[in-house]
Structures are given as structure tokens and as C-alpha cells.
Structure 1
């Protein structure tokens, strides 16, 4: 019986990650003994990353498709606006709710690979903002896999590596110059520990990523309702128990780390303030126009009432502008 090796490499990157991945592709041997599944935060934007990886290196690179069998020596890239998951030995693409305010997200891939492949998995967190990848890397470690993190001082955007470093027992640190060599060495190592069952809470989150089961029951089993609403759908957020850093999920599927939740709330608050300012200014303009029409038909009493209300709207708008300007 063949000894299993660490032949599944999952990589998460965001801002500043593309140059690292191109350098990695150029330096990997051919054929590379492991499969690489890669999430770059691209949202709905068109991605030419597979083409760039093929130009840089000699191992085949492609956008993933649902149902593809995972083969050694191939680089699979999550396509725009789809989460990429590992289910058994196949790739599954979904358009389930965003995690950490992005789709594709890193945590769903890492979590699914940990559950499906156990200690065969090497998880890699590269340059990026905020902290997507930290919870996923914790899942990989819980299932016996290895955690590889870019040195924060080497990253263009150090947030993601720094978060992983602070919250995960990292096995290896890499730089742009050592990433490919480190992965090549680790992919050739035999797995020396037995496979262990994934924690039930992790399995439930995996099922939520697949849209399986009753979401309310799943969430009640892994968390408790908080007093915070989801900034994407306004539903109640459940705080996941025993999660460090704290994480949240809603029943429609959105998931956040505390840091990403704060960032998303800030964006939504800013949008709400601008919408409120627009509404006040539009109402002032409408009231002023109505007042003018009243003056034309000699209805001075109604014109004065509307003009006073317009002044009231203008005062509120100016106050709101000062608040937004930090005055």
C-alpha cells in the first residue's frame, strides 16, 4: 500500500498575491507531484490568472469546473463569483452566499479540503488585506494538515499573513523567493500521522457552504444568535462558539470574521450616510420648488411653510456633511 503524501495544496491570496503565484508557477518542477487549488480574491471581475500561470510555468493551469477530478501537477483557479470546494476527490463550484464579503473566498476552500483530504493538505496564506484564510487554516491544522504562511514583512499586504500568524500554529514561513521550493519539498513528504475525523462543528459549516441541511438548526448547533445583523442581508448573525478570532454567520449563508464584519459594517454605514445626505438634498430641492409654485399662485402661507421645511432639510444636510467630514 502506497504511503500517502501531502499532495493537496490550497492557496489563498488577495492584494499583492499575483506576483508571488507567477513566480511560484515559474519555479515549480514538471511534473509537480501535488495538486494546487488557488483562490485569488477577484469577485465578479474577469480573471486571466490561469493564462498568466501557464505563461509563467510549465504545469497546466485552468479555471476550475464542477465535477473535475483533482489531478497531480495541475493548478486549479477559482473562477469569478464562485466558491471553489473540494468534495471527495472532485471540485465543486457554488454560488452560495459570500464569506468574508467575497466570492470566491479562501475559508470555504480550505475548510472543504481539510474535511475531504485530512493530513494530505498543505494550506498556504499569502499577501492580502483583512483576515480571510485564518479560519480555513485552523481547519486544516485541526485535520492534520500543514500551515504555510508568507512572512508578513515580505507581503505587499500583510494583513492576511499577520492574522494567520497570530491565530494559527504555523508550520512554515515563506517569502516570495522561497515559496516554490518549500512547497516542492513539502509535497514530497509522506504523511506520518493517521487521518482523524473532522470536528462536527467544522462539518456543519462545510454543509452550510454546500447549502445542505436546515440552516437554522445548523447554526444553533455551532453558535448562538447575536445582537448584530448581517450587513449584506439584514438577517440575524449567529456568533460561532469557540472561534478565535470571533466569527459570525447568518442563516442565508453570509459569514464574517469579526474584522471583516467591522470593515463591511463601515462600508455599509458610509453608504447609508451618503444615501441620507442625497435624500435630504433632494427633499430640500423638492420643497423649494413647491414653495416657488405656491408663490406664483399667491399662496404665501403655504409657500412659507414649505420654505421653512426646506431650510430645515438644508440644516440637517449641512450637519450631516460636517459629521461625515469629521468636524
Structure 2
């Protein structure tokens, strides 16, 4: 692959990310011959301009909120806005409100995968502190496309789960504390590209699928998904559609639906758990509402002297109460199980 333009540094982080980002950017020179792109998991009501302004206080690099179809430049940091994905397409950015990946928007994987597809060996992927596994597949895409991979040493990460997940599944080039990353990134940005590297076909395929779906140019075609993987027995937790398992030899397994939602195994399990919990809460609310109506009916019949009907409604309400208590117990156990799993991963 022939690369034109500045080197590419993509950075993904989640919980605890702003502190790590400010330290990392403070170590980079203003004349860095690379464009930097950041995906930080954010809530919908976060202010991207406020966060960019904060980053600017710690670095000589120019910091901006990424804009749709904007051409990027060296020496500039571009941050994905809340509730928007950030993708690369050639020498411009796509900022879109496409389907969630790994239950996140913005998600780390789409940025990293698009960078790998279009820029191959000129890309350096960086993973910092955070939860879960969003970014693992993206780092693998960069690695397989000839790029470099840098991960914050989990021992020094505020939340070590995400760095640990990357290190566990990918042979990473550099695992260092954030304070030591600046020197490595400068060296990588100044390295000459060592020949042409062919981006694997499956990375290109998935990058193009995500690009079209996230840019509101249509859903994935069944034919595309059949080429990229095989139908799985699972349903998408977000839309209920069928899922395809996108597994290639020696790559991390993940899933994608016709609408564009995508998951690793970990994020799929979490999505299923969230969908199950939501269903249980709906069932609990419905049962409690039915019980309240039965109690009111019993009281009305009793006031009218219809003791037989009042007793019948009381019995039905008591039966409903048993189901309500069972659901509450199940929800409590589900919450404890999810908490234990998060602690185990962390």
C-alpha cells in the first residue's frame, strides 16, 4: 500500500482516559509529523469543545473536534465528538452517527480498522486505560496491516481491563507507562515506511461495510456478510436481527448484524445481559401494574358486598405477588453477577 500524507496515530481509551491523554500529549512536540485521532468513550451530554480545550492546555499540538469530511493535517489532534463515530477515508475524516459497535458510539474499533485499511503500515495504534474490550479488534487490524501497536502498561493504568484485554489477545509491540510513550510515538512517526504492506482482505471488507453503513449509505447486504463470515445462532441485542460471525484464520472472533451493529464476544455477552435485564424490568413493571389493578378490583367488589369476587381477586393478586418477588430476586442476582464479572475483568 502506498501512503501519502502524514503518519497516523490513533488513540483509544475509556474510563480514566482524560488524565492519561493529557499526560501523553504533553510529551509530544509541536512539529510531530503525524496526525492524531482520539476516541474516548463519552456520554451523550459530554462537551467535546470543553474536552479539546482541556487537552490544548497540556500540549503544543493543535487540538480540534473532528469534523465530517474534513482533511486532516500533521501536528493536529482530532477528537471524536460524543455520540458520533470517527472514521478515516483516505486523507479525510468521516464523523457519523452510525450503529453502535461494542455498545459504544464513538467506538474505538471503527477508527482503528479504517485507519488500518487506508493507511496500513503508516498507522500506530495506542490503547490507554479503560474497561471492556472495545479496541482489541482494531488493534489487531493495525497489527495485521503492518502498523505498530502501543499499549499502556496495565500496572500503571487507572483502569487496567482494556490494556489487559489487548495484551492478552494481541502480540503488542510496546507495553509502557504513558510517561514513556511520547518518545516511542516520536520515533515511530519519524520512521520511513518499510516497503509496501498489503492490507488483509477481511479488514478491507469490514472497513468498507462499516464505512457505508455508518455514513448512512445503506445497510449491509446479505451477500457481503456471507462473504465476511457465517450465520450464527445469536440475535443482535440492539435490533433483534440475525448475527454473522466474522471469523478469519488467526483473528479475533466478532459478530455483525445486517443493520451494522458489531460486537466482540465480550461485548455481545454484555449486550445480551443488558437486553435480558431490560426485559425482566418490563415484566416486573407489568406484573406490579396487574397486581395493583387486581387489588383495586378486590376492594371495589368488597365495598359492593361481592365478597366472593373480592376473594377471587385477592387470590389472583397474591399469586401475582409471588411472581413479582421472584423477578425481584432474579434481578438482584443478575446485578450481582454483572458486578462480579466487571470486577473479575478489571
| Alignment partners' CA distance in 2, 1:185 and 1:202 | 26
Residue of structure 2 in register with 1:200 after alignment: 201
- Return the alpha-carbon distance in structure 1 between the equivalents of residues 11 and 309 of structure 2: 66
SS in structure 2 opposite 1:130?
coil
Separation (CA, whole Å) in 2 of partners of 1:145 and 1:239: 25
Over the aligned positions, Cα root-mean-square deviation in angstroms equals 2.0
d(CA) in 2 for partners of 1:228, 1:319: 27
Aligned ranges 1:120-159 → 2 under 5 Å:
120-159=122-161
> In the alignment, is the contact (CA less than 8 A) between 1:147 and 1:170 conserved in 2?
yes
SS at match of 1:178: helix
Deviation per residue, 1:257-303 (Å, 9 max, x gap): 00111122222222222222222222111110011112222333322
| Structure-to-structure mapping, 1:177-326, within 5 angstroms | 177-196=179-198, 198-210=199-211, 211=213, 214-242=220-248, 244-326=251-333
What's 1:15 paired with?
Answer: 15
Decide whether aligned partners of structure 1 residues 124 and 7 sit closer, same or farther in structure 2, where only a CA change above 3 A counts. Answer: same
Deviations 1:171-190, CA, capped at 9 Å, x for gaps? 11221211222211211111
**SS in structure 1 opposite 2:39?**
strand
Counterpart of 1:42 in structure 2 is: 42
Which segment drifts farther, 90-99 or 154-163? Answer: 154-163
| Larger deviation, residues 315-324 vs 248-257 | 315-324
Deviates more, 1:50-59 or 1:295-304: 295-304
Q: Secondary structure of 2:42's match?
A: coil
* TM-aligned CA deviation for residue 3 of structure 1: 9.7
Local SS of the residue matching 1:124: strand
| Structure 1 unaligned regions, length at least 5 | none
- The equivalent of 1:105 in structure 2 is 107
- The range that moved more, 40-49 or 61-70, is 40-49
TM-score normalised by L of structure 2: 0.89
CA displacement at 1:133 relative to structure 2: 0.8
Is the 8 Å Cα contact of residues 151 and 175 (structure 1) preserved in structure 2? yes
- TM-score normalized by the length of structure 1: 0.94
Deviation at 1:43, TM superposition (A): 3.8
Change (3 A) 1:322 1:241: same
